[in-house]
Amino acid sequence: MIRIEDVSKRYPGGHDALKGLSLQVDKGEMVFVTGHSGAGKSTLLRLIALIDRPTNGQVIVDGQNTSRVSRRKIPGYRRQIGMVFQDHKLLYDRPVFDNVALPLVIAGIGHRDAARKVRAALDQVSLLDKEKQFPETLSSGEQQRVGIARAIVSRPKLLIADEPTGNLDPDLSLEVMRIFRRFNEVGVTLLIASHDIALIDQLGCRRIALANGALQVEEEEDVVAEYAERLESEQERENWPQ
């Protein structure tokens, strides 16, 4: 579903946020991107969402090479990707219903069809009874669920989320992850940036660790260390007289 091939991103000013990064996320996977603040997680998600372009390398999403998606075609491209942000990015002067309907309105979908889709999305995040409320009357967890409903209202094949539980306590975080897991179970591919390692381990999902804009090599070092240890103990065993 996502192929990142030797991608680099240099921001104006010369900072290299990504350095020759390659990775792949298969259709139907639920994968986490972890890493310290500044590791390049948000940059990676922005390139996938075509909010920004790589300096070098290829970003291929569902068989489409994003470098060939022209400016004019970006809105159509984004319609197949759901995006969830840490700070919700809700419209606070609009009720929940309008917030979730926004992508459908932009896509020019008729009112009746849109209303049906909005209610289906709100149902999936258990907020059907709040459609007339304004975001600020909702809890932080509920606001995040409105953001999730908006992200999935167009039934995207791919959902990307940038630290979606960054502002939530552990119980609410788990609830959000359970919602994501349910989407995953019906075939949505998810790529989620998070540094909540405990939560990720609890879910048992694959983890891609970034450090300074590249894949973290620590795991590889662990494997080597483990191998060396095993060799040593085998040698010790051999040295023992039988």
Ligand X SMILES: Nc1ncnc2c1ncn2[C@@H]1O[C@H](COP(=O)(O)OP(=O)(O)O)[C@@H](O)[C@H]1O
Residues that bind ligand X in the complex, under the rule CB under 6 A: 11, 13, 15, 17, 35, 37-43
Kindly indicate which of the ranges 41-49, 95-103, 119-127, 179-187 contains the residues binding Mg ion, using the contact rule CB under 5 A.
41-49
Q: Are 192 and 160 in contact (CB under 8 A)?
A: yes
User: CA-CA-CA-CA torsion for 180, 24, 205, 148, nearest 10 degrees?
Assistant: -10
Residue 165 sits in the site that holds Mg ion (CB under 5 A): no
Q: How far is the CB of 38 from ligand X (least distance, A)?
A: 4
Residue 34 sits in the site that holds Mg ion (CB under 5 A): no
Chain centroid to CA 195: 12
17 binds, among Mg ion, ligand X, none (CB under 5 to 8 A by kind): ligand X
Q: Are 159 and 132 in contact (CB under 8 A)?
A: no
Nearer to ligand X, 33 or 176 (CB): 33
Beta strands in the chain (DSSP E): 2-10, 16-25, 30-34, 56-61, 64-65, 81-85, 158-162, 189-193, 206-211, 214-215
Helical segments of 38-80, H only = 41-48, 74-79
Q: Are 190 and 79 in contact (CB under 8 A)?
A: no
Kindly indicate which of the ranges 9-17, 37-45, 128-136, 212-220 contains the residues binding Mg ion, using the contact rule CB under 5 A.
37-45
Q: How far is the CB of 46 from ligand X (least distance, A)?
A: 7
CB count in 10 Å sphere of residue 139: 10
- The 3-state DSSP class for residue 228 equals helix
Nearer to Mg ion, 38 or 95 (CB): 38
43 binds, among Mg ion, ligand X, none (CB under 5 to 8 A by kind): ligand X
Q: How far is the CB of 112 from ligand X (least distance, A)?
A: 40
Whose CB is nearest to Mg ion? 42
Interface residue with Mg ion, options 4, 9, 33, 42 (CB under 5 A): 42
Nearer to ligand X, 44 or 122 (CB): 44
Task: Specify whether the backbone of 156 is left (phi greater than 0), alpha (psi in -120 to 50) or beta.
Answer: beta
Nearer to ligand X, 32 or 97 (CB): 32
C-alpha to C-alpha distance for 180 and 227, rounded to whole angstroms: 36
Nearer to ligand X, 138 or 208 (CB): 208
Kindly indicate which of the ranges 40-48, 69-77, 170-178, 230-238 contains the residues binding Mg ion, using the contact rule CB under 5 A.
40-48
Binding region for Mg ion (CB under 5 A):
41-42
